[in-house]
A and B are shown apart, each in its own frame.
Chain A
Amino acid sequence: MTMTMPTALLAGTAMLCTTTAWAKDVKVAFIPCGQINDGSWSEAGYIGVKTAKDNLAKAGITMTIDSSESLSPSQAEVAARDYAKRGYQTVVLHCGTFADAAYNAGKDFPNTNFLIAVAPKSVKNVWTYTPAMQDISFIAGYLAAKMSKTGGVGVVASFNFSNITWQAEGFRLGARYGKPGIKTFSTYINSFDDAGKAKEAAQAEIDAGADVIYSATDQASRGIYAAAETNDALAIASYSDQSQLSPKTVLTSALANIPLLLDTMVEGSVNGSLTPDKPYAVGMAGGIGALAMNPALVKTIPADVLATVQTLTADIKTGKLKIPALSEPGKSEQYDLATLKAH
Chain B
Amino acid sequence: MTAVAAPKLAAAMRSQAVLGLGLVVISLTAAGLVLLATGVNPLRAYVEILRSAFGSVDALSEDLVYATPVILTALSVILAFRCGLWNIGADGQLYLGAIAAVGLGFNHVDLPGPLLLPAMIVGAFVAGAAWAAIPALLRLRFGASEVIVTLMMNFLAVTLATYLIGGPWASGITPATGPIAPAGFLPSLVPGTRVNANLLVALAAAAGLAFVMKRTVFGYRVRTIGANIHAARFAGMNVDRVRFLSFAGAGGLAGLAGFGEVAGIYHDLPNGLSPGYGYTGIVVALLARLDPLWAVVVAFALGALNVGSGGMQRALGVPVSLVSIIEALLILLILGTRLMERRT
Contact = CB atoms under 8 A, between A and B. Distances in A.
B314 A74 contact: no
B174 A119 contact: yes
B58 A73 contact: no
B58 A72 contact: no
Contacts, number: 95
Interface stretch (B21-29, B94-102, B234-242, B270-278): B270-278
Contacts of B310: 68, 75, 78-79, 82
A327 B172 CA distance: 7
B304 interface: no
Contacts of A119: 173-174
A120 B173 contact: yes
Interface string A255-271: 00000000000000000
Given A160-B167, A190-B167, A74 B174 contact: no
Contact of B165 (A71, A74, A190, A327): A190
B275 A72 contact: yes
A111 interface: no
Contacts of A324: none
Interface string B258-287: 000100011110111111000000000000
Interface string B58-74: 10001001100000000
Contact of A73 (B65, B166, B167, B270): B270
Given A97-B270, A188-B166, A78 B175 contact: no
B314 A159 contact: no
A83 interface: yes
A96 B176 CA distance: 9
B273 to A, nearest CB: 8
Nearest to A162: B173
A69 interface: yes
Interface string B159-186: 0001101110011111110000000000
B311 interface: yes
B152 interface: no
B320 A159 contact: no
Given A120-B174, A327-B172, A70 B62 contact: no
A162 B175 CA distance: 9
A277 interface: no
A104 B274 CA distance: 19
Contacts of A120: 173-174
A85 B58 contact: yes
A246 interface: no
B175 A161 contact: yes
B313 interface: yes
B194 interface: yes
B147 interface: no
Name the residue among A72, A78, A160 with the largest chain B CB count within 10 angstroms.
A78
B112 to A, nearest CB: 27
B317 interface: yes
Contacts of A100: 266-268, 270
A51 interface: no
Nearest to B161: A190
Contacts of A73: 266, 270, 272-273
Nearest to A83: B314
A72 B274 contact: yes
B274 A159 contact: no
Query: Which of A74, A77, A97, A160 has most chain B Cβ within 10 Å?
Result: A74
Interface of B: 52, 58, 62, 65-66, 162-163, 165-167, 170-176, 192, 194, 261, 265-268, 270-275, 307, 310-311, 313-315, 317, 320
Interface of A: 29, 35, 66, 68-75, 77-79, 81-83, 85-86, 96-97, 99-100, 104, 108, 118-120, 159-162, 165, 188, 190-191, 327-328
Sorted nearest first, the 4 A-B pairs with minimum C-beta distance are: A72-B275, A190-B166, A96-B174, A190-B162
19 contacts: A72-B275, A74-B66, A74-B265, A79-B314, A82-B311, A97-B175, A97-B270, A99-B174, A100-B268, A100-B270, A104-B194, A120-B174, A161-B174, A162-B174, A165-B172, A190-B163, A190-B165, A191-B162, A327-B172
